[in-house]
Amino acid sequence: MRKPLMRIPYTDILPSPKIIPASAHSLQGALAALHNFFAAPPPSPLPSSTVVLTGAGLSVASGLADYRGPNGTYRVNKTYRPIYYNEFVQNHEARKRYWARSFLGWTSLQKAKPNAGHYAIRDLGDLGLISAVITQNVDSFHPKAHPHIPSLELHGYLRSTSCTTCRTEYPREDFQHQLARLNPRWADLLQEALASGALDTEDPDEKKFRGLKVNPDGDVDFPDAPYTTFRYPPCPRCLADPPIKAEGFRHTVRVDSDGAWILPSSAGVLKPNVVMFGENISNHVRSAAENAIDSAGRLLVLGTSLATYSAWRLAKRAKDRGMPIAIVNMGGVRGEDQFFVDVNPNQAGELAVRVEVSTDDLLPALVSQLRQKLSSGALPIDAPIRNHERENSSVFKDMLS
């Protein structure tokens, strides 16, 4: 039995990084270092492909807040505390609050789109340089931007809800319509906020001025709103046929006259299909992520401080396999000294890169540079290994909805 891997928050602000190689302080220097990272073959017998590990920093250019960046949630809102799995599952009041906020935040998330960083990953995949993407993000931007590169969503995705009793998945968009029907006053509030542009601004000070803040889980902070009146629907399947408990008795699933879940229901609670804090990552997701690391020769880390252990241990696994690691992140990365402790100070990016530039500036420039080198034949690509990995990659695709 494997030890469960629980998602827990780590809210400390991390120290500033040591840039590697020292020439990579500028955008041009960072580009040169990453070019060398992709151009040099990884140490034998590692394959030439690269696995990418991403976090909230990559979606900042899409207008979503990250946790620890310059305007990250943990810096801007010192009292921010995400909901925990147990709290959500056990507490009707906590769910009202969660879904009220989520109801308001969903539209912004729906309007947000993948950015130049996501599309650069698609282009790197088209060049044969990327074998798989592991993301901690729940915004679905990776599968949208590059459907042909396997995306493994370590912490799930907000595009679905799932039943905490029967595990059935439903589209989050349909759920939004049901929330609007069950909460007409909130639906009006949402329409007003959309009309006034209060949900449109990307400027954190402006959002704060309007009493509004969207965090990376698509949740909006709306002070003074009465959460206690918010209603949400049950799992239709559990409502139609309440499941049998382990003790042999049938669960109770009750709704009010409009079809909203009410106590004393004991089942049929829908949750966002993400791994909440305090919830375990399923073993098949965990194994698939480990396989993605083990099938690649390099690791490229983008827009994450690796503060969650589930992500950090994947980078550690890459390090233990002797894989060159490149990290592109604004701000410090948890325990990053360990990844670079034994790196030759004279290397120029082929074994290690640590840069602090924005991914949406850096990655498109990197793509055009690598494209030129590839077309001139200056960059060796190991085609047989790449094709082999493409075939194996279906295991990750199968996990996506």
Residues of each annotated binding site for Zn(2+)? 163, 166, 235, 238
Please identify, among the stretches 24-32, 64-72, 157-165, 372-380, the one whose residues bind Zn ion according to the rule CB under 5 A: 157-165
Q: Rounded to the nearest whole angstrom, what is the least distance from the CB of residue 296 to Zn ion in the complex?
A: 37
Closest CA to 49 of 321, 394, 299: 299
- The token pair that represents 385 in the structure block: 């290994």
13, 27, 39, 166: which one binds Zn ion (CB under 5 A) = 166
Per the CB < 8 A criterion, the answer to whether 85 and 277 are in contact is yes
Compute how many other C-beta atoms are within 10 angstroms of the C-beta atom of residue 155.
22
**Which CB sits closer to Zn ion, 46 or 239?**
239
Q: Rounded to the nearest whole angstrom, what is the least distance from the CB of residue 265 to Zn ion in the complex?
A: 11
Q: Rounded to the nearest whole angstrom, what is the least distance from the CB of residue 90 to Zn ion in the complex?
A: 17
**Which CB sits closer to Zn ion, 238 or 366?**
238
Task: Give the DSSP letter string of 205-225.
Answer: HHHHHTT-EE-TTS-EE-TT-
**Which CB sits closer to Zn ion, 163 or 182?**
163
Is 142 part of the annotated catalytic residue set?
Answer: no
**Which CB sits closer to Zn ion, 43 or 236?**
236
Q: Rounded to the nearest whole angstrom, what is the least distance from the CB of residue 235 to Zn ion in the complex?
A: 3
Please identify, among the stretches 82-90, 126-134, 235-243, 333-341, the one whose residues bind Zn ion according to the rule CB under 5 A: 235-243
**Which CB sits closer to Zn ion, 140 or 165?**
165
Compute how many other C-beta atoms are within 10 angstroms of the C-beta atom of residue 330.
19
Q: Rounded to the nearest whole angstrom, what is the least distance from the CB of residue 312 to Zn ion in the complex?
A: 34
Please identify, among the stretches 34-42, 78-86, 202-210, 238-246, the one whose residues bind Zn ion according to the rule CB under 5 A: 238-246
Packing angle between helix 27-39 and helix 359-375, nearest 10 degrees? 50
Per the CB < 8 A criterion, the answer to whether 51 and 293 are in contact is yes
Please identify, among the stretches 27-35, 230-238, 254-262, 307-315, the one whose residues bind Zn ion according to the rule CB under 5 A: 230-238
Which SS3 state, helix, strand or coil, does residue 204 take? helix
Q: Rounded to the nearest whole angstrom, what is the least distance from the CB of residue 242 to Zn ion in the complex?
A: 9
Please identify, among the stretches 15-23, 229-237, 333-341, 378-386, the one whose residues bind Zn ion according to the rule CB under 5 A: 229-237
The catalytic residue among 35, 92, 155, 284 is 155
Residue 54's Cβ-side half-sphere holds a number of Cα atoms within 13 Å equal to: 29
Any contact of residue 163 with Zn ion (CB under 5 A)? yes
73, 131, 135, 165: which one binds Zn ion (CB under 5 A) = 165
Site residues for Zn ion, window 169-198 (CB under 5 A)?
A: none
Which SS3 state, helix, strand or coil, does residue 261 take? strand
Task: Find how far residue 153's CA is from the centre of its chain.
Answer: 7
210, 237, 316, 390: which one binds Zn ion (CB under 5 A) = 237
Site residues for Zn ion, window 373-392 (CB under 5 A)?
A: none
214, 235, 301, 306: which one binds Zn ion (CB under 5 A) = 235
Binding-site size for Zn ion (CB under 5 A) equals 6
**Which CB sits closer to Zn ion, 43 or 259?**
259
User: Which is it for the CA torsion 66, 72, 76, 78, positive or negative?
Assistant: positive
Q: Rounded to the nearest whole angstrom, what is the least distance from the CB of residue 178 to Zn ion in the complex?
A: 15
Which SS3 state, helix, strand or coil, does residue 157 take? strand
Runs of H (alpha helix) within 91-231: 92-111, 116-126, 141-145, 172-182, 184-196, 204-209
Strands 270-274 vs 261-262: parallel, antiparallel or unpaired: unpaired
Max intra-chain CA distance, the chain: 72
Binding site, by residue number, is: 163, 166, 235, 238
Per the CB < 8 A criterion, the answer to whether 303 and 121 are in contact is no
Per the CB < 8 A criterion, the answer to whether 152 and 292 are in contact is yes
**Which CB sits closer to Zn ion, 132 or 163?**
163
Any contact of residue 238 with Zn ion (CB under 5 A)? yes
Burial (0-12, 13-18, 19+ Cβ within 10 Å), 368 = exposed
Task: Return the active site residues.
Answer: 155
Which residues of the shown chain bind Zn ion in the complex (CB under 5 A)? 163, 165-166, 235, 237-238
